[in-house]
Amino acid sequence: MGHKEYFKGVQSIAFEGRESDNPFAFKYYNPDQIVAGKTMREHFKFAIAYWHSFCGQGADPFGAGTQNFPWDNSSDPIQSAKDKADAAFEFISKMGFDYFCFHDFDLIQEADTLAESEKRLNTITDYIKTKQQETGIKLLWGTANCFSNPRYMNGAATNPDFNVVAHAGAQVKMALDATIKLNGENYVFWGGREGYISLLNTDMSRELDHMARFLTMAKDYARAQGFKGTFFIEPKPMEPSKHQYDFDAATSIGFLKNYGLHEDFKLNIEVNHATLAQHTFEHELTVAANDNMLGSIDANRGDYQNGWDTDQFPNNIEETARAMMVFLKAGGLQGGGVNFDAKIRRNSIDLEDLFHAHIGGADTFARGLLVADKVLNDAQFSSFVKERYASFDKGNGSEFEKGSLNLTDLYNFAGANNSAIVPASGKQEYLENIINNHI
143 contributes a contact to ligand XLS by CB under 6 A: yes
309 contributes a contact to ligand XLS by CB under 6 A: yes
Contact 190, 234 (CB under 8 A): yes
Q: Using alpha carbons only, how large is the chain's radius of gyration in Å?
A: 24
177 contributes a contact to Ni ion by CB under 5 A: no
Q: Which of residues 228-247 bind ligand XLS (CB under 6 A)?
A: 234, 236
Q: Which of residues 379-438 bind ligand XLS (CB under 6 A)?
A: none
255-260: long-range contacts at Cβ-Cβ below 8 A with a sequence spacing of 24 or more?
A: 255/208, 255/211, 255/212, 256/293, 258/212, 259/212, 259/215, 259/216
Rounded to 5 degrees, what angle do the CA atoms 76, 187, 130 make?
A: 45
Q: Residues 106, 248, 311, 363: which is the catalytic one?
A: 106
Stretch 340-379: interaction string toward Ni ion, x if CB under 5 A: -x--------------------------------------
Pick the closer one to ligand XLS by CB: 27 or 103. Answer: 103
Asked if 106 is an active-site residue, the reply is yes
**What minimum distance in Å lies between the beta carbon of 298 and ligand XLS?**
5
Stretch 144-183: interaction string toward ligand XLS, x if CB under 6 A: ----------------------------------------
270 contributes a contact to ligand XLS by CB under 6 A: yes
Question: In one letter, which amino acid is 406?
Answer: N
As a whole number of angstroms, the longest Cα–Cα distance in the chain is: 83
Handedness of CA 139, 274, 200, 259 (dihedral sign): positive
Contact 168, 146 (CB under 8 A): yes
Asked if 358 is an active-site residue, the reply is no
Closest CA to 101 of 181, 12, 179, 156: 179
Q: Between the CA of residue 286 and those of 52, 205, 235, 293, 333, what are the distances in Å?
A: 27, 28, 14, 10, 12
248 contributes a contact to Ni ion by CB under 5 A: no
- Given candidates 83, 90, 248, 341, which one binds ligand XLS under the rule CB under 6 A? 341
Stretch 188-207: interaction string toward ligand XLS, x if CB under 6 A: x-x-----------------
Q: Residues 83, 86, 98, 103: which is the catalytic one?
A: 103
**What minimum distance in Å lies between the beta carbon of 236 and ligand XLS?**
6
Separation CA 257–CA 261 (nearest Å): 6
Q: Which of residues 287-316 bind Ni ion (CB under 5 A)?
A: 298, 309
43 contributes a contact to ligand XLS by CB under 6 A: no
**What minimum distance in Å lies between the beta carbon of 234 and ligand XLS?**
5
252 contributes a contact to ligand XLS by CB under 6 A: no
**What minimum distance in Å lies between the beta carbon of 193 and ligand XLS?**
11
Binding site for Ni ion (CB under 5 A): 270, 298, 309, 341
Binding site for ligand XLS (CB under 6 A): 103, 143, 188, 190, 234, 236, 270, 298, 309, 341
Q: Which residues are catalytic?
A: 103, 106
